Amino acid sequence: MYLLTKSILAAMLGFISAVVLGFILIPILKKMHAGQRISSYVSNRHQAKEGTPTLGGLIFILPTLLVVFGLLVTGKMELTEDLKIVLFVFISYAFIGFLDDFLSLKRGKNEGLTTFQKLFMQLIVALIVFYLYIQNGGQTRLVVSTLGINIEMKWLYGIFILFILVGSSNAVNLTDGLDGLAGGLSAISFIAFSLISLMVGYTDMGIFALILTGALVGFLFYNAYPAKVFMGDTGSLALGAVMGIIAILTHREVTLLIVAFVFVIETLSVILQVIWVKCFNKKLFLMTPIHHHFEKLGMNEVDIVRMFWLVGLILAMAGIIFGVWI
């Protein structure tokens, strides 16, 4: 009962803090002219969103960190080695995303960090994470007993960590193209991982995920259609990376594929589109990521988001079952 009460409190604190911060921060971002630059390739409906404030990821990043710090100070939460790694990844990827957004705003066009710069910074973070993980006695064996998987990866696990962090962060980044889409799907995914973490004994990460879920719901108060603010790379990179590291630390790497499969599909649609154009000189989809394909088919933005949320919710429930019983 105590854990349940603490979990609900954590989520509520995250939500309230995000709503309050959004109320304060959005007018400041508008005064700073921190407006999102919209790609000329998307529909005219999206062109109307030009100038909507970005850097909105701060609305759920800062409250999450503030609530975690408050719980640590009051002794309601323990600063475990795993939690240190989660916080390091969360802050590091938020910084990479913030730097990318800042440079885009400064240059006045949708060009921030180069791909090489992003990958290099993410490589550094992954190496540090692998070092901390090994120092903490983390296993380098990929085990999924349900599927009969038991592979000792040794130093290759470091590359595996890099792959998950880069893949998951960029998957959320690609999905962030419709109002409330990435934020809602992320909230659903973190609810799943919070329940899995709490049920299999990773209380620290379960509480963290619930705080972040609450903060994301607070962010959606401003990001759902019609969006008053966008999360930007600041938010999307941080969300994807921390989702990946929680999966690694709870040894639920395969579960991540199930829970976050909508993000995977979004990424695969982009990859397949590039391959199809190069091989057959024509498009496989009308536009990618795939949520834009549905837009081109004439679907309403709100309906697309709801459809993706529903699919994400079904996958999250399947992921919880799989994640608890592996």
Under a CB-based contact definition with an 8 Å cutoff, are residues 10 and 18 in contact?
no
Is the pLDDT higher at 313 or at 39? 313
- What's the average model confidence in pLDDT over 274-282? 94
What pLDDT score was predicted for residue 195?
A: 95
For tokens 């379960």, the residue is 206
Choice between 260 and 139, residue whose per-residue pLDDT is larger? 260
Query: Looking at residue 318, what is its pLDDT?
Result: 96
Q: What is the pTM of this model?
A: 0.93
pLDDT one-digit tens code per residue, 86-95: 999 999 999 9
Whether residue 38 contacts residue 49, with contact meaning beta carbons closer than 8 Å, is answered with: yes
Residue 245 neighbours by CB distance under 10 Å: 27
What whole-number percentage of the chain has pLDDT above 70?
Answer: 94
Name the helix (H) or strand (E) containing 69: helix 58-73
Please state whether 51 falls in left (phi above 0), alpha (psi between -120 and 50) or beta: left
**How many separate helices (H) and strands (E) can be counted in the chain?**
13, 2
Candidate from 31-40, 65-74, 227-236, 249-258 with smallest mean pLDDT? 31-40
pLDDT digits (tens, 9 = 90+) for 186-212: 999 999 999 999 999 999 999 999 999
Whole-number Cα distances in Å, 208 to 46, 90, 193: 34, 11, 10
Higher pLDDT, 115 or 197: 197
Query: pLDDT digit string (tens) for 252-272?
Result: 999 999 999 999 999 999 999
Q: What single-letter DSSP state applies at residue 227?
A: P
* Alpha-helical runs (H) found in 177-252: 181-199, 203-223, 232-249
Q: What is the mean pLDDT of residues 269-277?
A: 96
pLDDT at 326: 67
Which pLDDT score, from 0 to 100, does residue 47 have? 56
pLDDT of res. 144: 76
